[in-house]
Every structure is written in structure tokens, then in C-alpha cells.
Structure 1
Amino acid sequence: MFSVGRNEQPAGNSRINANTPVVFTIGDSTMKNGSGKGDGGQWGWGNFFEWFFDTNRITVENFALGGRSSRTFYTEGLWNKVLSGIRPGDYLLIQFGHNDGGPFNTGRARASLKGIGEESETFIMARHGGPEEVFTFGHYMRIYIRQAKARGAKVIVLSLTPGNSWKEGKMIRSSETYTKWSREVAEQEGVAFIDMNDLVALKFEAIGQEATADYFKDRVHTSFDGALLNAKAAAEGIMQLNDCDLKEYILQESFNRTFTEADIHLK
């Protein structure tokens, strides 16, 4: 049985001993949906990521939270909770983009400026009437990368997962926006990059547009099978990286195993 659910423990709490690493994941609802317990049949892929690892040697802690963007995961203090638990030799996987559009200062007010530059703009926030300086998507991504590296972690940036949107038989990519910016930031900061947007889209194109509907609960959020497919794609992406020792902890046999909801043990 495998445990999934919202991570309420302090970051690093799962560490087996002082010499074993932890994989920390941060992102949005495509990585952990709702409470992380399959509410409404929706799952995030981070819940099942540990299924592909030798958990006698490494553990996975999924700190993603639905509705968050690269900006709000930082400004709401969620990142500081993760950072406090990072130790030398740990791993950090970062995936944002789905929620980085929309309004800057009204409603959920979670948008970042487009691109990866260092420009910023100050907005008066509707919820409290005070100012907030908003930076680019790339700026917030660099915060996570640089602070994690400063603590000795090895960082992997992932592009966002594709939504169930199609055009002429092909799943629509975000190749000119958040995928592009995620890749560029990773290259600039000298960390690994996995193009989840394309890896996952290729898998769904092989399945076909009609059959893909069973893997989604709406345009963006995945069912159990969809989240499992995304988790497998992430593990496969790690195996394809050069000079990434995280692959040493992946169980090769997990790629051929058939997982079902019976394998889930909710925390």
C-alpha cells in the first residue's frame, strides 16, 4: 500500500535518517488537487510520484497546493515552509504556470508578469487596499531555484502539464509561454529541465483525443489514471536527464507495474 494525501507535517519529516535524501515537489492542483485525497475524482500527479521510487532509500514530500501560482506560492509563505526542511543532497521539483495568468490585484490576484526578466509593477491590492510589487514568472522561479541550491539541493524544473485541449488531432502545448520560460530559467540557472508539457501531450496523442477524456475530470484536472500517467511521465523524464543522480533511486520495475486505486492508503 502507498500513502497519499495532503502533507501537513514539517518539511523533511519523512527523512529516513540523516544520510537519506528527500524529494520535495512544489506546484499547483495538477500536482496536488484539493486535500490530496481524490475529492471529486480529481488527483494530482505528485500524490503518486513516490510509487516510482525506492522508498527504503529516499522519500517524496508533495507540498504543492491547488490554486497557487509561481507568485502566490512564494507570497503566501508556502515556500518558506518547504525551504526550512531542505538539506544538502535533497531534490526540489518545481512546476508552475497554470495559475500565473488572470488578474494581478483583484479576485484571486495570483498572476505574475509574463516572461523571465527582472521587471516589476506595483499594484494596489483589492483585498487590503495596500500595494504589492509583482514580478515576472521567471523572477519567482529563480527565487525557488537559487534558495534551494544555496541549501545544497539539486533542482529540476518541469514545464506545466497540458490541458485537455486539442487542435487538428494534436494536444495544444504552451510552447511559446510557460514551457518556454521554464526552460529558459532552468538553462540560465544551470539546473535540469523536463518538458512535461510535451512528454505528456505525446502520451495522450498516442491514446487519442476521444479516449483521453477518461484521463481528465475537466479541461485541466486529472482523474486517477491521468495523474498516474503524469507521474510516470515525470519519472521517465528524470531517467532521460543527463548527469542526474536522482534516477538512481527510481525503480525500473515500477514502469511496468499496473497501479490501481486499491494501492492507495490515505494519510
Structure 2
Amino acid sequence: MKSTKSYLNLILLTTFIIFSSCIILKQQAKPTLFLIGDSTVKNGKGKGDGALWGWGSFIGDLFNSEKINVENNALGGTSSRTFQTNGLWDAVLAKVKKGDFVMMQFGHNDSSPLDDTARARGTIKGIGTERKEIYNPIKKKQEVVYTYGWYLRKFISDIKAKGATPIVCSPIPRNPVKDNAIVLANDSYAGWAEEVAKAEKVDFIPLNQIIKDKYAALSATEVKAFFTEKDHTHTNEAGAKLNAVAVVEGLKKLKNNKLNSYLK
């Protein structure tokens, strides 16, 4: 009797292990869409803390989860520089495999100072090869800082080396409502992101312009409702969902991008 019970328990355990292994293998077999960026892609833990949301928290709902994994690795407060120098990119890149996709959106924090005592996260403006050696007061050591374009090219090069597909997004526009009117200004980082993508011959989603086109068709009151009252950058849930849809709209216009086949 005792041996029979032990035998049944062994069968159940074996079945569970096989079943679990099949699930894990199925997950690993699927490609993954990795998202990297700042708080406008994922704020905090991506749970809407303080009513602040990034579009990366909702874009997964627009993909077929049975065919692709969506992993949001964006982190608030980062720039194209600090996402790399703080080791965040190395951690993501270690998981990237052939056939995966990496979608990036940086720019909001790149205009910060290069060497301030608060964050030291800025990059040199533009997409050239300029470099500047600074003393990083946060890390208490010397650091060579490059241009915004240099860091984007580094992401792209690393992704290609893994046999994955890089997709560059221009940064979402900040709240354009001023004095109860919509003022849609040009964003230098949006233009630089596009220039880098074209030069590197990788797919580009003009997210900044797509969203601005949506805002242009709305009233100031309607647009204001997409943002929190805490600042002029972060979106609430409604704004983040609008931006996620805008990403997919841009994605659908890309020719020959295999990521489209995983959309719902």
C-alpha cells in the first residue's frame, strides 16, 4: 500500500515536472519584444504609482501573448547614457536572443546636465562623434560622455550583433497645452532619433509626430486630460494607452517588420 502511494506520488511529480518544463520551453521558444526607455515607457514599477503611467505598461495588451513575450525593461530617470553606464543595458542584452526585438525610446532626460550632483545623466546634443571627459560626482570618477546619437548607435549595434531587430521610437511629446491652447513644438531629440535610425538602416517609429497629430485634432481640454497635474511630461493611464496605440500605428506602417505578425 505504502509503495503504491509512493509510486503514485512519483508519477504525479514527474508529470508536474514535464508539464512545467513544456511551459518553460514554450516561453523560451517564443520571441521577445524588449522595451527600453525612461519613465514615459515605464514609470516606477509600471503599476501606475502616483497615477503616472508609461505606454510600455499597456502595449503588451496589443500583442498576441501566445506568440510573443513583451518585457518592459524601461526605467524612470534614465537617459540613453545612464541606461548603459548604470548596467541596465547589459542586463537586458544578456537576455536578448536571435529573432527577438528591442524597441527603444530615449530623449526626455538626455538634455539634463552632464555632471550635476543630482543625476549626471545628460548627453552631448546631436548625433555626431563629439566626446567630453567629465568628473561624475555621482560615481566619483572620470567618465567620457558622448552624444545622444552615439548612445543610440551603441544600442543598435549591440542588438544587431545578437541577431535581433532594433526599432527606434522618437520620444513622446510633452504636454503641449499652454494657456489653454495647444502649442506643438518641434523636438530636437525626435529629429535626431530619426536621423540615427535612417543612417543605421533600422526601423523608426515617428512616435512624437504620430501623437502630436492626434493632439492637433483635439481640444486643449481633451489633450490636458491625458497628462497628470504633477508635471508637463508624464501621462496618466488614458494618455499612456493612447501612446501605446500610437506605437502600434507606427509599427503597422513599417515595411517587412516581422513584429507586425505578432499583433492581435
TM-score (norm 1): 0.85
The alpha-carbon deviation at position 209 of structure 1 amounts to 1.4
- Contact 1:68-1:110 at 8 Å conserved across structures: yes
State the distance in 1 between where 2:223 and 2:184 align. Answer: 13
Q: What corresponds to 2:104 in structure 1?
A: 94
- Contact 2:177-2:223 at 8 Å conserved across structures: no
1:180 corresponds to 2:191 = yes
* SS of equivalent residue, structure 2 residue 70: strand
- Contact 1:103-1:111 at 8 Å conserved across structures: yes
Q: Which has the higher contact order (CA 8 A, sep 6+)?
A: 1
| RMSD (Å), alpha carbons | 1.8
* SS of equivalent residue, structure 2 residue 217: helix
- Unaligned stretches of 5+ residues in structure 2: 1-23
State the aligned residue count. 238
Q: What corresponds to 1:265 in structure 2?
A: none
Q: Identify the structure with the greater helix proportion.
A: 2
1:225 corresponds to 2:221 = no
State the distance in 2 between where 1:25 and 1:245 align. Answer: 16
The alpha-carbon deviation at position 44 of structure 1 amounts to 0.5
- Unaligned stretches of 5+ residues in structure 1: 1-13, 252-267
The alpha-carbon deviation at position 130 of structure 1 amounts to 2.2
- Contact 1:173-1:198 at 8 Å conserved across structures: no
Q: What corresponds to 1:137 in structure 2?
A: 148
Sequence identity percentage: 43
1:109 corresponds to 2:120 = yes
* SS of equivalent residue, structure 1 residue 215: coil
Could you list the per-position Cα deviations for residues 129-187 of structure 1 after superposition, in whole angstroms to 9, with x for gaps in the alignment?
42110000011001110101110111110000001124795442444x10111011101
State the distance in 2 between where 1:97 and 1:199 align. Answer: 16
Q: What corresponds to 1:198 in structure 2?
A: 209
Q: Which residue of 155, 159, 174 maps to 1:148?
A: 159
- Contact 1:174-1:197 at 8 Å conserved across structures: no
The alpha-carbon deviation at position 128 of structure 1 amounts to 4.4
TM-score (norm 2): 0.86
Q: Which residue of 34, 51, 60 maps to 2:70?
A: 60
Could you say which structure has the larger radius of gyration? 2
